[in-house]
Structure formats: structure tokens, C-alpha cells
Amino acid sequence: FVGTANSRLYRSDNGGLTFDNITQSIIDAGALLPLHEIGVASDQPKYVAVSDNQPKVYFSSDSGKTWSDTQVDSQIGFTGIVQCIAISGWYSGGGTDVYHDLAVGTAAWGDNITTGQIWINKIGKSFGSWQNQNLKITPTVGAEVSSIAFSPTYYSDPTILAVASASDDAGPTDN
């Protein structure tokens, strides 16, 4: 999957030898261009999530043929931007249920009240609700989450890493 500056979404099924333009499928689901971030589950490449310009996050369980709006904007009252997306590997929910976690890192630019956050939605047979992970960033206002990664063995090691920074994090530079 590749998102490009000309606001198209492409998928390759042959290791990048050729790409198919699948932009219309996400537009049909309600996405507004340009698209910004993309995440793919490492153990289930048919699981794809993409953020758009609204901010909304769309999820596909069939390699981008069809998309569902995850309702991230309406469920959390979010008005900032999605900075990053990650999808965990599978893990058991007990019994025969298997899940993946869809995570988004956010930034709330310009309101001088909020800060970026990590939100997670459990993907199983359907979407759950978005859960704030209550990341504590210092300073508490104006920070952003710019990258998220799940442990490769998330099923047994539920580690999540995040890069977060604030606008005043820049240190001195040598000229």
C-alpha cells in the first residue's frame, strides 16, 4: 500500500512490481482526500487502516476492496489530526476469539488546551469503542504522538512504543 502526494491510494499484490489504484474504494466509503497515514497488520496484510483529511480513520479487512469508518472522530470528539496508525499482530481474547488492536496517535494543534494522545480500538468480528490510553506527556499541552509500534509478539508481550514530543522539545543546535 502506498499513499501519495497526488492523493491516491495504491496496492501492490506482487511485491511492488506493479500497483493498482484503489483510491475510489476509500472515497466510496466517505474518505476525503488527501489521505495521510496508513497502517498494515504485519501478520494479516489484508488488515489496513488509513486516515484522511477530516480526521477519520477507515479500516479494511480485505486489502482495500471495501472500507469501514471506525468513527474515531465522533466517538472521541476529536478535532485534531491523526499523526500515525499502527495495527497489532493477533492475540487471543479467550476461547476462539482473535483480535488485533488498531492504534492512532494524535496531535491537537492550536487549541492550547489539549495534547496528543494514543487511542486504541479492538478489532474482532466488529469494532469496539475507542479507548484513550492516557499517555502522560510533558508539557501537558501542545504535544503530539508522531509514531506508534506494537511488539512483534504482542500476543504474549503487550508492549506498545510511542514517540511523543512537544513544540518546545527542540534542544540547542550546533552551528
- Give the model's pLDDT for residue 26: 95
pLDDT digits (tens, 9 = 90+) for 29-85: 999 888 989 999 989 999 999 998 877 999 999 999 999 999 888 877 766 788 899
Q: 172 exposed, middle or buried (CB, 10 Å; 0-12, 13-18, 19+)?
A: exposed
Taking the CA atoms of 52, 61, 146 and 15 in sequence, report the sign of the dihedral they define: negative
Phi, psi of 124 (to 5 degrees): -130, -125
Model's pTM, two decimal places?
0.86
> What percent of the chain has a predicted confidence (pLDDT) above 70?
83
Asked if residue 148 has pLDDT above 90, the reply is yes
Mean pLDDT taken over the chain:
84
